[in-house]
Amino acid sequence: MASALRELTRMTSKPLAWPGTLSNSDASGAAARSSSIIGLSKERRAIHCIFRGYGTAPLKVLILAGQHGDESPAQRSLGSLLAVDAGELARQLPRLQVAVIPEANPDGCAVRCRYNAEGIDLNRDHQLLRGGETEVIHQLVRRWRPQVILDLHSYPSRRRHLLQRGMVLDHDVFFDVPNHPAILARPGSLNPAELLRQLLRAVADQRVRAARYTIVTSSGRARHSTPDVVEALNGLALRYGAFTVLVENRQPRRDETTAERSRLQAAQARALLVLLEWLDRHHELFLPLRTLGPPPPGTLVPVGFKYTDEGKGLSIVCRDIVRGRRVSIRFSRYSGSVSSRCSVALPAGYAVPDELTALRAVLRRHGFVPAQYGGCGLCSVQKLRIERACPSRRPGRSARHLVLSSHPMRVELDRYELFSTRQRGGEALTVFLEPQSKHGLHRFAELEIPLRAPSWYPVLRVLGSERETEPQPVEAEHRRSLRAANLCAPS
């Protein structure tokens, strides 16, 4: 068993070579040899990746755009960046290697449609990876291994709940950073909130109206980006350990003049360049992310959480559509963060039964390397029994009021595939596979992992190490079983 886990840890993806590598003394002519086709869409359109910068630069930054084919402001700001001479841009950002996917959804971009040709929203597909285009993105991230990923989108200024107040959003650009508790709790990780504050100050200094991305719900509550890992912001950060930044460019309003639209477009292009310059200046903060390994078994991984209301409320600068001026409005209900409610101790791995073919396929698409258990005897596992569960009425939501009982045992795993948590992003397996995880894969009906009571949860926590797979005295085995029985700890 232990040898199988070590084998999984050694099997890693090969880094993507830097095409058209430039020396620091000569970056001329880079544009002519700096583009690669990294995949094809459903309708066989090429997905291009454009490279900029010196191939020896220490920090790798991936810019991802065009997941939604109808978001032209993001495309325009990216076009302004790519219009800069490649050699000049390399000299301006000497510490960055930049890879750009301008149209991650080329079929949708061709017809200005949010979805791909299969009707899939790519920015809601970073957990299941049903779309071939989303899988291409993840393959590139695994091969090239960027430390930073910029996720470019566009947002409409008109929101129904603001229009009721006679207001529309008026920021040139919104930014946001990962907020899933499992990402924030990762040992050695950065402080996203503090980095966001620094970035917003740098952008504001360049006369760009910028703030943290904010959503106003139908109940009048203000919050920031969802922590759901189906989106690129949290999905890519959790799976690969990269620092992700959401960039939301405002769509022009119908009442804006040509001059106002030109100012908006220039501000958004400037914001993207300022973001890259800020990364270049602070590149040393992100370099350790490339070598940051998975946390050791036993590390607590948050899997259940809730929004936390902050009593001070939130003020947002909007535009009064009647008076035509910018005003500040305050929302008394403000969920500024999420707090952990339940954590699970990271096991050595997970055993997925052979009959769950759809689940195993998702894990493989994520690049997790499985191994068949070689029939080397009994293995220490923890099997979970669902004692109580209340299925959610809303699709894609986890069951509520879940009650589990844990049963440590030693079993043969000849009909399971083993997924070690010592792989890169191994804690994502805990978020994906634990039954009490708010964003577990069991919430998707097509994977056929129902949480019904009473029943046994089919995925096993693997507790075995090399020492534990050897014959053990009954007394010591009993003590270990008692310790393992309390792997879900309230935070």
**Same domain membership, residue 284 and residue 349:** no
Please state the domain count of the chain: 2
**What confidence tier does 292 reach under pLDDT thresholds 50, 70, 90?**
confident
Q: Is 474 exposed, middle or buried (0-12, 13-18, 19+ CB in 10 A)?
A: exposed
Instruction: Spell out the residues 6+ positions from residue 89 whose beta carbon is closer than 8 angstroms to its own.
Output: 52, 53, 81, 98
Residue that terminates a domain, selected from 295, 316, 331: 295
What is the Cα–Cα distance from 274 to 205, expressed in whole angstroms?
A: 10
Distance spanning both ends of the chain, measured CA to CA? 31
What is the Cα–Cα distance from 488 to 302, expressed in whole angstroms?
A: 10
For residue 2, pLDDT over 70 is answered with no
pLDDT in tens, 128-145: 999 999 999 999 999 999
Section 306-310 average pLDDT: 88
**Same domain membership, residue 375 and residue 253:** no
pLDDT in tens, 350-359: 999 999 999 9
For residue 197, pLDDT over 50 is answered with yes
For residue 25, pLDDT over 70 is answered with no
What is the Cα–Cα distance from 14 to 139, expressed in whole angstroms?
A: 10
**Same domain membership, residue 368 and residue 242:** no
pLDDT of residue 376: 63
**Same domain membership, residue 363 and residue 288:** no
Q: Is the dihedral of CA 468, 474, 480, 481 positive or negative?
A: positive
For residue 31, pLDDT over 70 is answered with no
Residue that terminates a domain, selected from 260, 277, 295: 295
Largest CA distance in the chain: 80
What is the Cα–Cα distance from 208 to 205, expressed in whole angstroms?
A: 7
Angle at 11 between CA 9 and CA 15, to 5 degrees: 120
What is the Cα–Cα distance from 361 to 129, expressed in whole angstroms?
A: 10
Q: What's the domain range around 196?
A: 14-295
**Same domain membership, residue 351 and residue 280:** no
pLDDT of residue 19: 53
Look at residue 280 and tell me if it is in a domain.
yes
pLDDT in tens, 216-270: 887 888 999 999 999 999 999 999 999 999 999 999 999 899 999 999 999 999 9
Q: Give the tokens for residue 77.
A: 């700001």
- Per the confidence metrics, is the pTM higher than 0.75? yes
In three-state secondary structure terms, 29 is coil
CATH number for position 203: 3.40.630.10
**Same domain membership, residue 358 and residue 287:** no
Least confident segment among 118-127, 157-166, 237-246, 423-432: 157-166
**Same domain membership, residue 242 and residue 376:** no
In three-state secondary structure terms, 420 is strand
Mean pLDDT, all residues of the chain: 87
For residue 465, pLDDT over 90 is answered with no
Please report, as a single letter, which amino acid is at residue 435: P
Question: Per this entry, what is the length of the chain?
Answer: 491
**Same domain membership, residue 362 and residue 244:** no
In three-state secondary structure terms, 31 is helix
pLDDT of residue 398: 73
pLDDT in tens, 41-67: 999 999 999 999 999 999 999 999 999
pLDDT of residue 373: 65
Residue that terminates a domain, selected from 228, 260, 295: 295
Look at residue 127 and tell me if it is in a domain.
yes
